[in-house]
Structure 1
Amino acid sequence: MSAHNERPVLEVEDLSVAFHDRGGELVAVRGVSFAVAPGETLALVGESGCGKSLTAYALLGLLPANARARGRVRLEGRDILGLEGEAMRRLRGARIAMIFQEPMTALNPVLTVGAQIVEAIREHEAVSRAEARARALALLARVRIPDPERRFGEYPHRLSGGMRQRVMIAMALACTPAVLIADEPTTALDVTVQAEILDLLDDLRCETGMAVVLITHDLGLVAEHADRVSVMYAGRVVETRSAETLIAAPLHPYTRGLLAARPRLGTGPRRRLAEIPGQVPLLGAMPPGCAFAPRCPFAALPCRETLPSLDAAGSAAGRVACLRWNEIRASEQSAAPLGA
């Protein structure tokens, strides 16, 4: 991981996603903005239901029929949010690709993995079947699948979870995209395989210069594999900073709660994991102020009445959407209790 000063390859500005039905409009993603430079990894972090995956689907034009996205999404300087049909299909997989959360449902069970990679290549490039096959075999080797020739002819159910995830990565990289979105790429994998997959993504990012958007709920992964972090809660970004500074000194109470809930390995006495009480509010029952206020130990009356904007975090590089973050930090630094 390193600092990146190049122009962003992906820029998302004020992205919102709303679902429409007979009951009206339900807004699931609210004013999300971020940018990613070539060779950089940005992590989108939050609990299930916070809008991380929905944000990714909006970027790729994969929203359900009753959902609408607003805002601006620029890929390599081109606004792609309004693209539909063939125009979007030409970009999807070629310039922006995605590794889905569960490879067993993302891969076609009746086609061999080799045939699926070949299809991904020939969909976007005018190459012969033989050339596409050679490239597919090279991709399988690149993602460290042993005996690529044999695995090329296997069906997905014959492969382990880690192998299937590597096939998904190979398919995503088939046309050398500028941006790779990895949606919980290590779900249901054991710890050793998780590390291998994420190390592989890091190596491929360094080799190709692609930007990576890593969607996860695991701040442990963020500490090791991300350059910057945007923490999402109830469809909004509530804190965005460098991974190093955010892990060392989180500002938003929700980020603090996520970090406190991380399991810690060690030889000391066992303790119960901390937990954030309550749950993410339902789309149709968002509180009028800060959405996290009902679960926040620092919430005061203004928090319950005023929706905080994502403002510059003073001397702490980044931005945070909390009315009291400065008070909370000041009280901790002075070791004085903060009253609500």
Structure 2
Amino acid sequence: MSARGLPPVLEVEDLSVAFRGRGGERAAVRGVGFSVAPGETLALVGESGCGKSLTAFALLGLLPANARAGGRVRLEGRDILGLQGEAMRRLRGARIAMIFQEPMTALNPVLTIGAQIVEAIREHEAVSRADARARALGLLARVRMPDPERRFDAYPHHLSGGQRQRVMIAMALACTPAVLVADEPTTALDVTVQAQILDLIDDLRRETGMAVVLITHDLGLVAEHADRVAVMYAGRVVETRPAETLIAVPLHPYTRGLIAARPRLGTGPRRRLAEIPGQVPPLGAMPPGCAFAPRCPSAAAPCRETLPPLDVAGSAAERVACLRWKELRAPEQSAAPLGA
């Protein structure tokens, strides 16, 4: 059960994704697990290369041919991870849909946006072209597209970045999915349009009761739009807790580093922006213990030798993968997170 008291609509257990190559298989996602309930927003957070988008592609069966997924992905109680071909296509868009990072590459440049939304509707429902057109216009109005009638016959390159993202949202909502995966939905948009898009997704979530998986690297967005957070690093979930609690008192050193690195506005003296030294390890060079240990200022010898389990940190829904999280949780941290 979720914090909202509802059974999850999406359950991910021990998800793994490995790529086959000349040197054998290399794991890019390892043991990922989370759940999300109707009307709830779960944020997947982490730097580029941490496996967030790859996890999303695995949920929708969009992995490349040389990738192999394992574990379980249950959508409305049904394990969908092994579905292929037509069986997966019937679910994709109808029960689970996705907003991609860059709509200009996701939309077909030679079809009008109206034709693409109509196609999404008729792919899953036996409706006439006229009825599908009427629904498409209604969807464009619903996502607050200016002048939907005129935009219906426009091509993607005729629209602004924010308008193209609204088209992507309209397509994703065309068949009222149970789960919406939003993969960095505000990439390359200015701050004002970014806020409009995220507020729109929030409004549609409340109206329809769909679950949202929001993929982002921006913890500022998480604080405003997520109910719960799963922090990913090097293909693993390293901390998962309610958003408000995680932002106020982060437990994993990586989460603390992400929060400390957030830009802040204020009237105080200027200071250098905090950063996490180093980078996410490549697939072929994963350390034997905690993957974050080479970058962690608090790492000890056991951290470099032992892979930390996802330990319960409070309620059953609060977990952290760090061998030292209890001793690092100093009393003053409860009052102000690292870097505040």
In structure 2, what is the equivalent of residue 64 of structure 1? 64
1:237 aligns to 2:212 (yes or no) = no
Alpha carbons 2:28, 2:235 under 8 Å: kept = yes
In structure 1, what is the equivalent of residue 320 of structure 2? 320
In structure 2, what is the equivalent of residue 108 of structure 1? 108
Alpha carbons 2:249, 2:333 under 8 Å: kept = no
Residue correspondence of structure 1 range 149-228 to structure 2 within 5 A: 149-228=149-228
Give 1:269 shift: 1.6
Give 1:267 shift: 1.9
Give 1:5 shift: 1.1
- Distance between the aligned counterparts of 2:287 and 2:200, measured in 1? 41
Matched residue SS, 1:186? coil
Q: How many residues matched?
A: 334
| Superposed CA offset, 1:17-42 (max 9, x none) | 00001210110000000000000000
In structure 2, what is the equivalent of residue 54 of structure 1? 54
Amino acid at match of 1:268: G
Matched residue SS, 1:94? coil
- Distance between the aligned counterparts of 1:160 and 1:203, measured in 2? 22
Matched residue SS, 1:55? helix
- Distance between the aligned counterparts of 1:255 and 1:17, measured in 2? 23
- Distance between the aligned counterparts of 2:3 and 2:116, measured in 1? 36
Matched residue SS, 1:14? strand
1:249 aligns to 2:257 (yes or no) = no
| Superposed CA offset, 1:58-89 (max 9, x none) | 00000000000000000000000000000000
Amino acid at match of 1:228: R
Structure 1 stretch 46-55 or stretch 262-271: which is displaced more?
A: 262-271
Residue correspondence of structure 1 range 299-314 to structure 2 within 5 A: 299-314=299-314
Q: Structure 1: 5+ residue runs without aligned partners? A: 336-340
In structure 2, what is the equivalent of residue 338 of structure 1? none
Amino acid at match of 1:74: R
RMSD of aligned Cα (Å): 1.5
| Superposed CA offset, 1:288-327 (max 9, x none) | 0000000000000000000000010147960000000110
Cα 1:67–1:5 change in 2 (3 A) is: same
- Distance between the aligned counterparts of 1:22 and 1:241, measured in 2? 39
Structure 1 stretch 181-190 or stretch 260-269: which is displaced more?
A: 260-269
Matched residue SS, 1:121? helix
- Distance between the aligned counterparts of 2:136 and 2:300, measured in 1? 57
TM-score normalised to structure 1 length: 0.96
Amino acid at match of 1:184: E
Matched residue SS, 1:27? strand
- Distance between the aligned counterparts of 2:315 and 2:199, measured in 1? 33
In structure 2, what is the equivalent of residue 36 of structure 1? 36
State the 4+ residue runs in structure 1 displaced beyond 4 angstroms. Answer: 331-335
Matched residue SS, 2:329? helix
In structure 1, what is the equivalent of residue 16 of structure 2? 16
TM-score normalised to structure 2 length: 0.96
Cα 1:37–1:317 change in 2 (3 A) is: closer
Amino acid at match of 2:61: G
Give 1:330 shift: 3.3
In structure 1, what is the equivalent of residue 89 of structure 2? 89
Q: Structure 2: 5+ residue runs without aligned partners? A: 336-340
| Superposed CA offset, 1:249-284 (max 9, x none) | 000000000000000011222211100000000101
In structure 1, what is the equivalent of residue 98 of structure 2? 98
Identity of aligned pairs, percent? 89
In structure 2, what is the equivalent of residue 330 of structure 1? 330
| Superposed CA offset, 1:187-216 (max 9, x none) | 000000000000000000000000000000
- Distance between the aligned counterparts of 1:205 and 1:331, measured in 2? 37
Amino acid at match of 2:233: Y
Cα 1:171–1:58 change in 2 (3 A) is: same
- Distance between the aligned counterparts of 2:44 and 2:4, measured in 1? 18
- Distance between the aligned counterparts of 1:243 and 1:94, measured in 2? 28
- Distance between the aligned counterparts of 1:90 and 1:3, measured in 2? 30
Matched residue SS, 1:87? helix
Give 1:333 shift: 5.8
In structure 1, what is the equivalent of residue 264 of structure 2? 264
Amino acid at match of 2:165: Q
